[in-house]
Amino acid sequence: MEPAIDSKCALPAAFTSLSPSALIWQDVLAQAMTGELLAAMNYTSLADICDDPAEVADALEHAQGERGHAAAFAAEGRRIGVSVTNNVDARHWKRLRQAFLRCIAERDFIACLIVQEIMLESFAVASYARVGKVAPGTLGKTFAAIAAEEEEHIEHAMEILRAERALDEQRFDDKVYQLHLEVMTTLAEMLARDCSHGHCEVCHGSCVKPALPDVRLSAAELRGASLHQYLKTLDKLGLPGEVTLTWVAQLPV
Amino acid sequence: MGRSIAGVTEVDFALIGHQESWRAAADVLAVLRGPERTPLPDDEIRDILPWLPPRAVCHVDIESLGGARARGLYIDSFIAPDRLADAYVRDNIARVREAAAYAIKAGAKIVSLGGFSSILIEGNFDQLPQRHATVFTTGNTLTVGFIVQGIRKMCAMEGRDLRRSTLLIVGATGDLGSGCARCLAGDVRRVLLTARNMERLRRLAVELEAEGVAVEVATDLRQFSSEADVVICAASLASPSLLLGRVAPEAIICDAGFPKNLAPGAEMPGAKVFFGGLGQVMGGLRFTPDFHGVLNRHPFPDVVHGCLLEGMALALERRFEPFSQGRGFITPERVEEVETIAARHGIYLAPLYNADGPLEETAESSCLPALLPA
């Protein structure tokens, strides 16, 4: 698939020699940009199954917002002198997209929201917030600002999902669990300490994870923060904390 | 859906605790993962545990010998075993507060604060979320009761006369230390108190001296001669070797700190060390899912920290009140009151043991009626 954002722009002349940290940020940005473009594709697909014109408009607006985030990440790459590529067909991202498309095929609007807003966005918000704390200058500010915007998305979806859960708690919780098994397993594998199943197909060279401590990050921290955010989001939805704890404890490492 | 302990709408009590070692934390996560999954490697556990928000891990059902029953939750605050130091106090209090909010949301009528949670909160009760229908207790009064019972029992087992003993209390101004001092001071020949705060030490000494007790205080253990032959470590010592040369070679030493880390060492081969503050449930104790031997890792069955047992005993008694709160309010009368409640429901001093194993031959031998409060 062609990258949705053309990143083959000219690099500033000043960055003829890149610092090692710039190459780390390049991969961090590539993962984030891929996630944003996948989210944009998901929202576009969601618009296809919405009956209410207001919901269609809402989904398309979200899709546009996610493309804006991807563009912002690409711009941050240019600012530090690196080209940020994306690959929504990379192994993990592709599985996440396929999981979402199955929900679309079933025209299951609620399942779509659970996958995108509860699972994927939890990881985005938590990861971006951590990156936002340690990344220098505008790079950090961009990650922090996008984390805040994504959090607003979640709040919007929470109202819909809480209302849905109120109709039939057990049915809702069963649905979340089935989606958890597929989507969260993939996300947990993505953020495992090392990519034991092979290259992720997004990092431009070798896996970036071992180098993350050089920019005061770690895969363990990103995974921990993401799972924490996920559990807290499920708490807000009203799922029993003792049950969701078991779900998370059973994820692969 | 995955294994669930949800579906119960009402709980009488909640127990807030955390794991005191990485081994214990690994065992908890292994139960949560289930036997069909590979246990998490130790380094993964160290990565994941600090990120887990406080929440219920299992249901706890307790039954008294008289047939009374109470149902509760064990809520783990997931304080990491290597984060008990002062540097993490704020984060740890926040975790206990979050666990308390969970207990309130679950509808617990009484909440016991276990282990380090109790130490963190005993002077910070105002930091707990408030709700009229839920009360909190540190559980320290029953812990003191079991420490004192343990001292008496160990003296009896060793043929020592407590009345001729010199009692040293390490961490004497804390809730446990001061409670033990009040309960035992009148029964011994002399009392030595040590803690970090001299002003508090002096206040406690004045209180005890008014009862005709001979008291010495020091902020540094090294200021004492080696005459103490009964020792209560109400605060954790980094090593038993710190007692070396400061207590009698064959001293009876109660490790009542948290975490319990005093082992009978080669330096003091004659010392009789035991873990204090533990009780045993004789009626029935059930965890769902089954965390037996995981949440209560003791060489005897159904042994639980006194601080947690206090809330369970009060729940069985249907006395939902904040029995132990604040610091320095534990009196012999209050200890006797809660011991009586506990005994009425078949909760007695646990058999004595230490890091090397049991100090008694049978579990039954610990439950002699003569050891129960009058």
**pLDDT tens-digit profile of A144-186?**
999 999 888 788 899 999 999 999 999 999 999 999 999 999 9
Separation between Cα atoms, residue B374 and residue B365, nearest integer Å: 19
**Mean model confidence pLDDT for chain A:** 89
**Alpha helices (H) along B122-185:** 140-158, 175-184
Asked if the C-beta of A193 comes within 8 angstroms of chain B's C-beta atoms, the answer is yes
How many structural domains compose chain A? 1
Strands (E) across chain A are located at none
Tell me which residues of chain A, numbers 143 to 182, contact chain B at a CB-CB cutoff of 8 Å: 170, 173-174, 177
With a cut of 90, say whether residue A73 has pLDDT above it. Answer: yes
Would you say residue A1 lies in a domain? no
* pLDDT band, residue B7 (cuts 50/70/90): very low
Could you please report the per-residue DSSP string of B36-75? Answer: TSPPPPHHHHHHHGGGPPPEEEEEEEEE-TTS-EEEEEEE
With a cut of 50, say whether residue B191 has pLDDT above it. Answer: yes
Angle formed at CA A180 by CA A191 and CA A56, multiple of 5 degrees: 100
- Which domain CATH number covers A93? 1.20.1260.10
Would you say residue A54 lies in a domain? yes
Place of tokens 């936002």: A132
Separation between Cα atoms, residue B179 and residue B171, nearest integer Å: 11
pLDDT tens profile B17-64: 999 889 999 999 999 999 999 888 999 899 999 999 999 999 999 999
Q: Which residues in chain A have Cβ-Cβ distances shorter than 8 Å to B48?
A: 220, 223-224, 227, 253
pLDDT tens profile B165-176: 999 999 999 999
Separation between Cα atoms, residue B18 and residue B10, nearest integer Å: 23
Q: Choose among A146, A62, A55, A167: nearest CA to A107.
A: A55
Give the nearest partner residue to A250 out of B33, B51, B52, using CB atoms.
B33
pLDDT tens profile B52-92: 999 999 999 999 998 999 999 999 999 999 998 888 988 99
pTM for this predicted structure: 0.87
Would you say residue A236 lies in a domain? yes
Give the nearest partner residue to B53 out of A228, A240, A246, using CB atoms.
A228
Would you say residue A217 lies in a domain? yes
- CB atoms under 10 Å from CB of A17, counted, come to 7
Which DSSP state fits B292?
Answer: T
Domain containing residue A193: 13-249
Provide the number of CB pairs (under 8 Å) joining chain A to chain B: 75
Contacts of A71 (CB under 8 A, 6+ apart): A5
Please state the rounded mean pLDDT for residues B283-296: 89
- Burial pattern B214-252, b for ≥16 Cβ within 10 A else e, equals ebbbbeebeebeeebbbbbbbbbbeebeebeebbbeebb
* pLDDT band, residue B373 (cuts 50/70/90): very low
Would you say residue A3 lies in a domain? no
pLDDT tens profile A8-29: 444 444 444 567 798 899 999 9
This model of the complex carries an ipTM of: 0.85
* pLDDT band, residue B143 (cuts 50/70/90): very high
- B351: burial class by Cβ within 10 Å (0-12, 13-18, 19+)? buried
Listed by start position, the domains of chain B span 13-141+279-349, 144-277+353-371
User: B59 pairs with which residues across the strands?
Assistant: B73, B288
Find out if CATH 3.40.50.720 is the number for domain B144-277+353-371.
yes
